Amino acid sequence: MPKRRKLAILGGSPLFAEKLHVGRPNIGDRAALLERINQMLDRRWLTNDGPLVKELEQTICQIVGTAHCVAMCNATVALEIATRAAGMSGEVIVPSYTFVATAHCLSWQKITTVFADIDPESQNLDPQQVEPLVTERTSGILATHVWGRPAAINDLHSIAKRHGLKLIFDAAHALGCSFDGQMIGQFGDAEVFSFHATKFINSCEGGAVVTNDDDLAARMRLMRNFGFLDLDRVEHVGTNGKMSEICAAMGLTSLDQMNATVTANLERYEIYKRELQDITGLRLIAYDQTERNNFQYIVVDVDESQTRLARDVLVQVLHAERVLARRYFYPGCHRLEPYRTMFPQVGDRLPITERVASRVMVLPTGTAVNEDDIVNICSILRTAIQCAVQIRDKLGL
């Protein structure tokens, strides 16, 4: 892209003819997907714990190394069932810097969300902020592996053990990632994956809970199917949380391509790393490459004191060029309803959450994005920041 090209936000033409989205779905092998769907139609078994769902669960267990995988219709219902089956009640400590479903799954069950601040580097729940919030009403901790980078697992385990709390991880970002050489999924009482269309492994819509707890797994299987133990015997309060066969077909097709998708994500991460390194005020969030990562997210920290443009302005610049970058987890769950009304002062104890939520920008990646796209996205950012710095310097701002 020419260095002095007029940005679209200033009246130029958008660089991209088609929109580039964060989380554009990875499709996988269409022929393999259609073959699975045709087999499903031939069997006339579309839902209710069919063979494709069972195969998906077995495959996830093999990847993660857990005894049980319970597939669900989506990750939000999976979180609701996991927390309920684990016996969470009263108060549960959660990060505010997460997708709102992490908090909603508790509020839906009349459990009080207690927001704790995050670590500025990992952007995950800070154990030092968690322990002071434990009360006699606290029943558990629900932590998130943000960007697939592991939470402070050992410290959170220690806190949970000390206080007799349940510990569940929202691992929506973290399939295929590891901590101390062990795959995410093996920690806490249970961990919850998302297979939403935006995830690097998707089942169009879906989720799953993994655990090594036999009793917990059995309860969750009852709860996802209305509490039915067999054909006409209900043994537990339940709901309809089942994954359909067609979603499992997509999930299995996506899993077939898992290693190739991770490789593609890593290639794009390295291109972004190269292209962003000389742009003032932008810092690419790093992954620990001694561990396994899925490189699903390209996360940039925007330092406005150097860019001379706020993160939100940079997002608007990109949107004008048809690059749909995202302010992720903005503005924090505590500033969304019903939490901002219920806890109007809680932001006072979440300074890191508020700082991170105001600075993070997520850029498009995945198999729908190629090297030229990335070079052009970074060139837009470089041009915008160079112009802003020059103008402000000339005006003495």
pLDDT at 394: 60
pLDDT at 11: 79
SS3 assignment, position 169: strand
pLDDT at 123: 98
The domain limits of the chain are 8-24+258-325+364-395, 30-256
pLDDT tens digits for range 282-303: 999 999 999 999 999 999 999 9
* pLDDT > 80? residue 92: yes
pLDDT at 18: 79
- Check if the beta carbon of residue 268 is closer than 8 Å to that of residue 298: yes
Where residue 396 falls (left for φ over 0; alpha for ψ -120 to 50; beta otherwise) is left
pLDDT at 12: 83
Give the Cα separation of 10 and 378 in Å (integer). 18
The CB-side HSE value for 278 (13 A sphere, CA atoms) comes to 8
What share of the chain in percent tops pLDDT 70? 97
pLDDT at 345: 94
At residue 16, what are phi and psi to the nearest 5 degrees?
Answer: -100, 135
* pLDDT > 80? residue 347: yes
Instruction: Please list, in sequence order, all residues whose beta carbon lies within 8 angstroms of the beta carbon of residue 2, skipping any fewer than 6 positions away.
Output: none
- Residues 243-259, mean pLDDT to the nearest whole number: 97
Flag the least confident range among 13-17, 178-182, 357-361: 13-17
Q: Beta 138-144 vs 166-170: how paired, if at all?
A: parallel
pLDDT tens digits for range 100-156: 999 999 999 999 999 999 999 999 999 999 999 999 999 999 999 999 999 999 999
* pLDDT > 80? residue 4: no
3-state SS track over 103-166 = HHHHHCCCCEEEEECECCCCCCECHHHHHHHCCCCEEEEEEECHHHCCCCHHHHHHHHHHHCCE
Helix (H) or strand (E) holding 178: strand 178-179
* pLDDT > 70? residue 389: no
* pLDDT > 90? residue 393: no
pLDDT at 1: 41
- Check if the beta carbon of residue 50 is closer than 8 Å to that of residue 245: yes
30-256: which CATH number, 3.40.50.2300, 3.40.640.10, 3.40.50.1220, 3.30.300.30?
A: 3.40.640.10
* pLDDT > 70? residue 395: no
8-24+258-325+364-395: which CATH number, 3.90.1150.10, 3.40.47.10, 3.90.550.10, 3.40.630.30?
A: 3.90.1150.10
10 Å CB burial of residue 355 (0-12, 13-18, 19+) is middle
SS3 assignment, position 222: helix
**Per-chain mean pLDDT for the chain:** 94
pLDDT at 392: 66
pLDDT at 2: 41
* pLDDT > 70? residue 214: yes
- Residues 205-216, mean pLDDT to the nearest whole number: 98
Flag the least confident range among 53-67, 213-227, 229-243, 329-343: 229-243
What share of the chain in percent tops pLDDT 90? 86
**Position with higher pLDDT, 13 vs 73:** 73
Give the Cα separation of 239 and 321 in Å (integer). 44
**Position with higher pLDDT, 238 vs 394:** 238
Q: Is the peptide bond before 338 cis (omega within 30 degrees of 0)?
A: yes
